[in-house]
Amino acid sequence: MAREPVMLARYAEGLFWMARYLERVENMARLIDVTQGFESPGREAESWYALVQINADEENFARLGHTPGAEAVKAFYLADAANPTSIPASLEAARYNASTLRPLISTEMWRQLNMFHRAMSAIAPEEMQGDRLSRLCTRVKEGVQTHTGITEGTFFRDQGWLFYRLGRLIERADQTTRLLDIRYHLLTAPNGGEDRRVAELERWGGVLRAAAGYHGFRRVAPPGFAPADVVAFLLVDRGSPRSVALCVSEMEACLGELRARYGLRGTVDALELAEELRAALTGRPVSRIIEGGLRAFLDAVQQNLNALAAAIGTAFFRDWRPNAAS
């Protein structure tokens, strides 16, 4: 059989970013949900502003006129279309990219994304309060999951599928590190009795649920698990769909297929970066990573993921611009 023609750079780029933005929407909903669950009485502003800090949005948050506080942060991520990392802005960017991909994507993908975009374009203030916020986050997650399922069932398996998966996997790995970062330093206080330890483990259960990993973790976790076990599950467990190591391994597979099946030589730099990142994740026990400073390690992983995305973008896209809408 003749080799399939190389995909147009603008199509590869659009699929990569459509997938990233949709994964970002789902993970933002997860971060918001877990932040609400971990609010500390009297420290609500601090708890919510940590979400801004983890996403490195402090400058943008201030530029748009917000001041630290629970309601401001909720509005910043759920309703402020001027914030490029908000759910409305990310959905708009995903829809824009999808509009450039109409010759490639299925009618079902396009229709569902339009309906989802319309449903999330005007979130009422009362939906950001109390139990309604958790239900809103569930609707957002289910909207992305529906699109993912439709894509899995209808999208043609060619180069475009591989670029779509690369975008989703890079974003998923990055967001898993942010989920760990946002709570690890608040859930590992050295002092406290048994009641405190039990409460902390319950909160770690909330982190696992936010990462859609609670039931999987319970299948492999030791009795009386420690926070380090959750970190290991989310960082390096090859059975956890959102673990960073699994995402990196699947990125290597996508890049390898682009090289072997389609003859795309531009994968060399990206493959080397992916291999280095996998080695950093799996080359030493998680206990030693934690001892060396988990936050610094997670920051380094995020930087390496950015470098990996840049290597892919520089090699295959028209004009690599991080966080570009298209």
Domain spans of the chain, in order of start: 9-316
pLDDT of residue 199: 66
pLDDT of residue 224: 77
Three-class secondary structure of residue 199 per DSSP: helix
pLDDT, tens only, 164-222: 999 999 999 999 998 888 766 555 544 555 556 666 677 788 788 888 888 999 898 88
* Residue 255 burial class via C-beta count within 10 angstroms: exposed 0-12, middle 13-18, buried 19 and up: buried
Whole-number Å distance between alpha carbons of 34 and 227: 16
How far is CA 221 from each of CA 205, 208, 226, 230, rounded to the nearest angstrom? Answer: 12, 12, 9, 8
pLDDT, tens only, 147-161: 999 999 999 999 999
* Residue 165 burial class via C-beta count within 10 angstroms: exposed 0-12, middle 13-18, buried 19 and up: buried
What are the tokens at 313? 């973008």
321 falls in which pLDDT band (50, 70, 90)? confident
Q: Which amino acid is at 261?
A: R
pLDDT, tens only, 25-50: 999 999 898 888 777 666 788 889 98
